[in-house]
Amino acid sequence: MKKKIFLFFKILLFFFFSLIIIGSIFLFLYIRNFPLPEKFTERYLPQSTKIYDKTGKVLLYEIYGEEKRTIVSLKDIPEYLKQAVLVAEDENFYSHKGVDLKAIIRAVLVDLKLKKPIQGGSTISQQLIRSAFLTREKTLRRKTKEVLATFLLEKRYTKDQILELYLNQIPFGSNCYGVESASQTFFGKSVKDLTLEESAILAALIKAPSYLSPYGPNKEKLFERKDYILDRMAEKGYILKEEAEKAKRKEISFQQIKNPLKAPHFTLYVVNLLEKEYKREYLEKAGLKVYTTLDWELQKTAEEIIKRQVKENRKYNAFNASLVAFSPKTGEVLALVGSADWFGTPYPEGCEIGKNCLFEPKFNIAIYGERQPGSAFKPFAYAKALEKGFTEKTILWDVQTNFGVKGSKPYIPQNYDGKFRGPISFKEALAQSINVPSVKVLYLAGIEETINLAKKMGITTLTKPPSFYGLSLVLGGGEVNLLEMVTAYGVFASEGYKTSPIFISKIEDSKGNIIKEAKITPKKIISTQVCRKISDILSDNEARAPMFGFSSPLYFKDYEVAAKTGTTQNFKDAWTIGYTPSIVVGVWVGNNNNAPMKKKAGVYLAGPIFHQFLEKALKFFPKEKFKKPSFSLTQKPILNGVLPGNHSILFYIDKNNPLGPPPSNPSLDPQFFNWEKGIENWLKTHSL
């Protein structure tokens, strides 16, 4: 009998352990294919890449895919919001072990009664597991996985850790995932700045993000649930009843749903730079923080002034404008406006983009537009001539001159005012932007040498042979873009050092580690003295007054500002570019289709935009003066500002060696007789 009993227990024990083994195998096979909660620490949550201004406080743009998300710490989430979520989704969160049996039983009874799997009963922990790893189907298999994983989750993490994961994981609709993204999208503020009523709104959305969307037809239902949550918060003692009632009455305004895009031409160029280095898919999920060089206050100022002034310029048939502000010391692009209004519509209505539109809002003139700079190109020729040994006091003849050599077409440039002044110094000619002597300066400096200097200073668009441009180059015969012109003028502002333009100062990964940082690498291009001479000429208001007047847009009371205007033939482009030691500002005005404007010079069309912007911008920078250049007497009277006789400079100076011996036979120079003839004709009707 004892043996039979022993055998029975032995068989029973065998079946018991077999059942345990089979059950364990079954359980292992059942759950082996779904991630365990330990994976949360390894799990990659997609986060949008954010592009900021230089302060990191102004969001310019967000690059995201299907999930727009920003991870935040639980300590940065207000207590109001945490409490609102608890009363809305799981009021026993801090007391249960992951599964609320009472809530499940209640949900099952309701589902049985309705004969549909409708009622929930999931805790925050269960919702987190389901949202992160499982589907939303309501089957026994999925529910079993959910419960098992939830128990493991609760064992692995603290309640606060689970709540933080949950608040960064859950969807809120409109591509928003997590409370920070939802707060920024719906209220335009960080989650840490949410009010009580706004916190209740976010908590209300969790139940049915699409159905309760503030932009959908069920907005009243959203407010009803918000009020319910506020009442529950008062019942639980999180807030006073008076606070709840006050919050119910508060008016709530929602941001218009759109992907913010500030400083569009600047920002989209930054996106272009990022996409050249990183794949778009990576940017949509990596959670990078991109800190640009943009000064948001200067950018807003530039946009407002351009929009206002272009309306004024329309009476002169000028429908577009562009502006770039640049730091010559750091290379930072501080402001960039690529057109009068990125959000505007092409003009005239129905015009064909790229062909016959006077105004194309999306085209970035500042970076991609190649236009003739007019007289704004002159400083490069003067700088090269000064570098060769000519001086700012060098005397030239401003007389009508045919620069066409034997076998070529006549080239007889005119001055803007139609006058000829006779003997004139380099300084006077550049300050007053006199054309004829400037053409002579280019000839003395050398066309190829001037182009090479411009290239070193940042101009990349002059790619044709020097013969293609000829002497008209100094009057704007070659096409350039505004950003490069501003960069090149920055060399004058920094006394000879070129710093390439920088749009991105640094990039951080989602954890705040710096993965890329801009390096300032100034390169010496031209001598300090040459730059000081150019700045001295362009900032001398008295020297330019005979042409521009004493109160032109180029003049700033109590500030030294070097400035140059440019107007192309047929008045297709108007420019003003100027600088201090701290900032360079360039403005272009014209039409996208190259249609001519009314006969107004750059100082009248681009000058007002330049002046209004720089007048405000100067307040953000220290008041600096240009250092005065030194002047050394040479052995050549004409270089010292003394006219030895009634001959052109080619009679006294070898243009390739200004400080060397005079030419033994000046007539060998192909321009000699042209220049002499011009002087001879002028002297017939004028006396010195």
Decide if 433 is inside a domain. Answer: yes
Give the best-scoring range by mean pLDDT among 7-11, 85-89, 197-201, 647-651: 647-651
Which is more confident, 114 or 478?
A: 478
Work out whether strand 176-177 and strand 68-69 pair parallel, antiparallel, or are unpaired.
parallel
pLDDT tens for 410-434 read: 999 999 889 999 999 999 999 999 9
CA pair distance 269, 275, nearest whole angstrom: 10
- Across the chain, mean pLDDT equals 88
CA pair distance 392, 652, nearest whole angstrom: 17
CA pair distance 650, 666, nearest whole angstrom: 6
Q: Give the count of domains, the chain.
A: 2
What pLDDT sits at residue 280?
A: 81
Sheet of 59-63: strands edge to edge? 59-63, 49-52, 289-292, 504-508, 514-517
pLDDT at 400 over 90: yes
Which is more confident, 139 or 285?
A: 285
User: Would you tell me how many other CB atoms lie within 10 Å of the CB of residue 269?
Assistant: 21
CA pair distance 200, 225, nearest whole angstrom: 8
> Mean pLDDT across the stretch 278-305?
93
What pLDDT sits at residue 103?
A: 62
53 band by pLDDT with thresholds 50, 70 and 90? very high
Amino acid at 482: L
CA pair distance 343, 179, nearest whole angstrom: 30
- Residue 48: closest CA among 70, 27, 26, 31: 70
Decide if 353 is inside a domain. Answer: no
Where a domain ends, among 201, 228, 249? 249
Phi, psi of 284 (to 5 degrees): -70, -20
| Marked catalytic residue, from 89, 198, 428, 676 | 89
Measured in residues, the chain has a length of 688
Amino acid at 439: V
DSSP 310-376: HHHHGGGT--EEEEEEE-TTT-BEEEEE-SS-TTS--BSTTPPTTTT-SB-TTS-HHHH--B--GGG
Above pLDDT 70, what percent of the chain?
87
What pLDDT sits at residue 118?
A: 41
Flag whether the pTM goes above 0.95. Answer: no
Give the best-scoring range by mean pLDDT among 166-180, 397-411, 535-549: 535-549
CA pair distance 603, 595, nearest whole angstrom: 19
For residue 638, give the DSSP letter: G
- Residue 485: closest CA among 363, 326, 621: 326
C-alpha count within 13 angstroms, C-beta hemisphere, residue 686: 17
- Tell me, what CATH number does 244's domain have? 1.10.3810.10
Which is more confident, 224 or 119?
A: 224
> Mean pLDDT across the stretch 449-472?
96
How large is the angle between the packed helices 447-457 and 378-388, nearest 10 degrees? 110
Integer angstrom CA distances of residue 262 from 60, 254, 379: 5, 19, 34
> Mean pLDDT across the stretch 561-580?
94
Decide if 469 is inside a domain. Answer: yes
- Residue 330: closest CA among 500, 211, 485: 500
- Tell me, what CATH number does 662's domain have? 3.40.710.10
Where a domain ends, among 220, 249, 278? 249
pLDDT tens for 469-519 read: 999 999 999 999 999 999 999 999 999 999 999 999 999 998 899 999 999
Where a domain ends, among 213, 233, 249? 249
For residue 562, give the DSSP letter: E
333 band by pLDDT with thresholds 50, 70 and 90? very high
| Marked catalytic residue, from 48, 375, 425, 433 | 375
Phi, psi of 518 (to 5 degrees): -65, 140
Work out whether strand 497-498 and strand 584-590 pair parallel, antiparallel, or are unpaired.
unpaired
CA pair distance 146, 136, nearest whole angstrom: 10
DSSP 499-554: ---BSEEEEE-TTS-EEEE-----EE-S-HHHHHHHHHHHT-HHHHHHHH-TTSTT
Q: Which structural domain, as residue segments, surrounds residue 218? A: 71-249
Integer angstrom CA distances of residue 353 from 344, 359, 457, 569: 13, 9, 33, 24
156 band by pLDDT with thresholds 50, 70 and 90? confident
For residue 393, give the DSSP letter: T
pLDDT tens for 605-641 read: 999 999 999 999 999 999 999 999 998 899 999 999 9
CA pair distance 93, 166, nearest whole angstrom: 12
Decide if 29 is inside a domain. Answer: no
Above pLDDT 90, what percent of the chain?
65
What pLDDT sits at residue 29?
A: 47
Low-confidence winner among 53-67, 296-310, 375-389, 543-557 (lowest mean pLDDT): 53-67
- Rounded (10°) CA dihedral 302, 493, 568, 433: 120
Work out whether strand 59-63 and strand 49-52 pair parallel, antiparallel, or are unpaired.
antiparallel
What pLDDT sits at residue 330?
A: 96
Q: Is 375 a catalytic residue?
A: yes
Q: Which tokens hold the place of 635?
A: 């052995």
What pLDDT sits at residue 94?
A: 85
Amino acid at 115: K
**How large is the C-alpha radius of gyration of the chain?**
37
Low-confidence winner among 37-46, 388-397, 617-626 (lowest mean pLDDT): 37-46
> Tokens 């003067």 correspond to what residue?
382
Integer angstrom CA distances of residue 366 from 93, 131, 352, 452, 592: 56, 46, 21, 22, 12
| Residues in Cβ contact with 339 at an 8 Å cutoff, skipping those fewer than 6 apart | 265, 320, 321, 322, 359, 360, 361, 362, 363, 364, 365
Give CA 322 to chain center in angstroms: 14
CA pair distance 226, 232, nearest whole angstrom: 10
> Tokens 């030239």 correspond to what residue?
396
For residue 123, give the DSSP letter: -
398 band by pLDDT with thresholds 50, 70 and 90? very high
Q: Bridge-partner residues for 398, per DSSP?
A: 422
Work out whether strand 395-398 and strand 422-425 pair parallel, antiparallel, or are unpaired.
antiparallel
> Mean pLDDT across the stretch 247-257?
85
- Residue 318: closest CA among 31, 527, 598: 598
Decide if 315 is inside a domain. Answer: no
For residue 630, give the DSSP letter: P
Which is more confident, 53 or 8?
A: 53
What pLDDT sits at residue 538?
A: 98
Q: Bridge-partner residues for 524, per DSSP?
A: 497
What pLDDT sits at residue 518?
A: 94
CA pair distance 242, 248, nearest whole angstrom: 10
Q: Is 552 a catalytic residue?
A: no
What pLDDT sits at residue 105?
A: 65
CA pair distance 384, 451, nearest whole angstrom: 9
Q: Is the Cβ–Cβ distance between 678 and 402 less than 8 Å? A: yes
What pLDDT sits at residue 158?
A: 87
- Residue 460: closest CA among 368, 575, 566: 368
Decide if 378 is inside a domain. Answer: yes
The H or E element that residue 60 is part of is strand 59-63
Decide if 191 is inside a domain. Answer: yes
pLDDT at 409 over 70: yes
Sheet of 176-177: strands edge to edge? 68-69, 176-177, 171-173
pLDDT at 116 over 50: no
Decide if 449 is inside a domain. Answer: yes
Tell me the CA end-to-end span of the chain in Å, nearest whole number: 147
| Residues in Cβ contact with 266 at an 8 Å cutoff, skipping those fewer than 6 apart | 60, 292, 294, 299, 333, 335, 336, 338, 503
